[in-house]
């Protein structure tokens, strides 16, 4: 559902823009698109961390899996993911409403991305960019560290399995998740953890990778 909503937020408007002469988007529509983009990127990130924990319990503590990953805990973890995502998306969107835009308001991009909009601003965006980087480091690097720790323990456990076929089965359980994590964080880091003035077209390609390809 998250990934389906993720691509539905941006792709339909992108396809319309490719076929239509009128490529305009309203201010409210742009902020709405930005809100859902930020919220869903954050949600995807947090769910990947929960999935890493799920795999850790399944491989490292298989006999306790049913009790450790109880339905109640799953609901609680997903509720926390949704709550944090909604709050973070709302925080950045409300901060952007305080930015003044003047002069040409043409977005040379596929959709309303935070960095693109900040570059169009004629008011001081230093505080917003500082908040963006600081909160981004916490929201994205904390789950990444959690995932890294989980996978270090998973690899240690798998290497202790004597059977080669069981090792392969355990690794294959994690392969798709690791692939998505690598693509998601690799492209996201290119965009978010850099000064605003260095943002270029290659970074917009990276944004498309985590906003379209990864889901």
| CA atoms of 208 and 137, how far apart (whole Å) | 20
Phi then psi for 207, rounded to 5 degrees? Answer: -65, -40
Inside any domain, residue 14: no
- The CATH number of the domain holding residue 74 is 1.20.1070.10
- Residue 103, sorted as left (phi over 0), alpha (psi -120 to 50) or beta, turns out to be left
Angle at 107 between CA 88 and CA 214, to 5 degrees: 55
Inside any domain, residue 6: no
pLDDT digits (tens, 9 = 90+) for 82-135: 999 999 999 999 988 888 887 777 777 777 878 778 878 888 888 888 888 888
pLDDT digits (tens, 9 = 90+) for 123-159: 888 888 888 888 888 888 888 888 889 989 988 888 8
Q: Indicate whether this model's pTM tops 0.85.
A: no
Residue 132 structural domain = 21-213
Which residues pair with residue 173 across a beta bridge?
none
Inside any domain, residue 94: yes
* Contact indicator for 41, 188 with CB cutoff of 8 Å: yes
How many distinct structural domains can be found in the chain?
A: 1
């Amino acid at each position: 559902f998250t990934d389906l909503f993720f691509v539905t937020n941006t792709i339909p408007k992108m396809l319309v823009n490719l076929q239509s002469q009128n490529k305009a988007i309203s201010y409210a529509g742009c902020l709405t698109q930005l809100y859902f983009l930020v919220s869903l990127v954050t949600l995807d990130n947090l769910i990947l961390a929960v999935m890493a924990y799920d795999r850790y319990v399944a491989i490292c503590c298989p006999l306790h899996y049913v009790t450790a990953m109880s339905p109640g805990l799953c609901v609680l973890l997903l509720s926390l993911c949704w709550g944090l995502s909604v709050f973070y998306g709302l925080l950045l969107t409300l901060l952007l409403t305080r930015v003044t835009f003047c002069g040409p308001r043409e977005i040379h991009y596929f959709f309303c991305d935070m960095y693109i909009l900040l570059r169009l601003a004629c008011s001081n965006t230093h505080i917003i960019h500082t908040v963006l980087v600081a909160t981004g480091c916490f929201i994205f690097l904390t789950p990444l560290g959690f995932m890294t720790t989980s996978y270090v323990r998973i690899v240690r456990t798998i290497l202790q399995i004597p059977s080669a076929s069981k090792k392969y089965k355990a690794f294959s359980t994690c392969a798709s998740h690791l692939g998505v994590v690598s693509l998601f964080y690799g492209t996201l880091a290119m965009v978010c953890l850099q000064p605003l003035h260095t943002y270029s077209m290659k970074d917009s390609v990276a944004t498309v990778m985590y906003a379209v390809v990864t889901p």
